[in-house]
Amino acid sequence: MSKIGYIRVSTEHQETARQQEIMCDYQVDRIFSEKISVSTQNALQFAKDRPPLRASPNYVREGDTLYVESISRLGRSTKDLLNIIDTLTEKGV
């Protein structure tokens, strides 16, 4: 069983250090991280094109735990969040 961390910040200018520190506290085995600048115009594309987030369910196996600093870091909308949760639940995470 592995501990997988997911880190996201919303702009190129934001730092991931605080979230990385939290992942260190959780002693995660692997971190998926991304810096994405999202505007209202490209929010739909953002939901589709998040390679680190899309890669994490392929890496996560049954019995693993996925750690995020907060639920807002995982999904930008309720629909996006539910799709991510469904994908992970299907894998037994």
Range of the domain at 75: 3-91
Each residue's pLDDT tens digit, 24-72: 999 999 998 887 765 544 555 555 556 556 556 567 778 888 899 988 8
What local confidence, expressed as pLDDT, does residue 40 receive?
Answer: 47
Q: Cα–Cα distances in Å, from 69 out to 42, 77, 85?
A: 24, 16, 16
Domain holding 42: CATH number? 3.40.50.1390
Q: How many domains does the chain have?
A: 1
pTM for the structure as a whole: 0.71
Among candidates 47, 39, 55, 56, which has minimal Cα distance to 76? 47
Determine whether 10 is an active site residue. yes
Residue tagged active-site, from 2, 10, 33, 37: 10
